[in-house]
A = this chain, B = another copy of it.
């Protein structure tokens, strides 16, 4: 079996921008992107399935079951968008699967004429609470880094040489760079142990500046409160994942090798 993307409708988009927010540290990328989808009333048009995802299925509200998956939404506006989120990331034990799935996403993006990619996620402070979470940014190239320097005071371009970004947010841009995609990776500071809507808000704030779109971020915390039960489950689940991620990241911080 191969990783494959099923499209529900063929849509016509004009050089859409790809926004990615998959589960990760603090669930920040996913929360930010889901809020964006809901605010923009973006419409789902494709799903990605992969044998590199865990061999389990999920029960839905109506007693139906479904595979784990990624979802592609689109929004037509001043700038057309493709927004990617999903249930999970490929397990950390399957590096090959990570590369494979990201490759498929880039193939798909290319087909739709995507040239810019923005990936959203969290940056773990290793447990330290952050009052005003900054957004740590890195990019595919100097041109895009300069283009967006200074547009948001809370967005800081990273200087921690040799630091690592683990998973889809990094791979999409670094693999994409070899295929002439340009883009930024925006990571919201997070203690890592609880879901901090503030970090998702910071990341979204930077993104709206970049995309020059106008959406209210007021609803973000409210939305999160409404879904407290589900988020509670997510939180406990994430704690485990995060713990592992942090441990792994600690090791990786020492991994500057070049």
Residues of A within 8 A of B (CB): 1, 6, 23, 30, 49, 51-67, 87-88, 90-92, 94-100, 103, 137-142, 145, 157-167, 170-171, 173-175, 177-178, 185, 230, 233-234, 236-237, 240, 251-258
Contact = CB atoms under 8 A, between A and B. Distances in A.
A213 B97 CA distance: 44
A180 to B, nearest CB: 13
Contacts of A173: 57, 65
B64 A138 contact: yes
Given A52-B95, A173-B57, A139 B64 contact: yes
Given A56-B252, A237-B255, A51 B95 contact: yes
Contact of A51 (B55, B92, B96): B96
Contact of A65 (B49, B98, B138, B256): B138
Given A55-B95, A99-B51, A255-B237, A67 B174 contact: yes
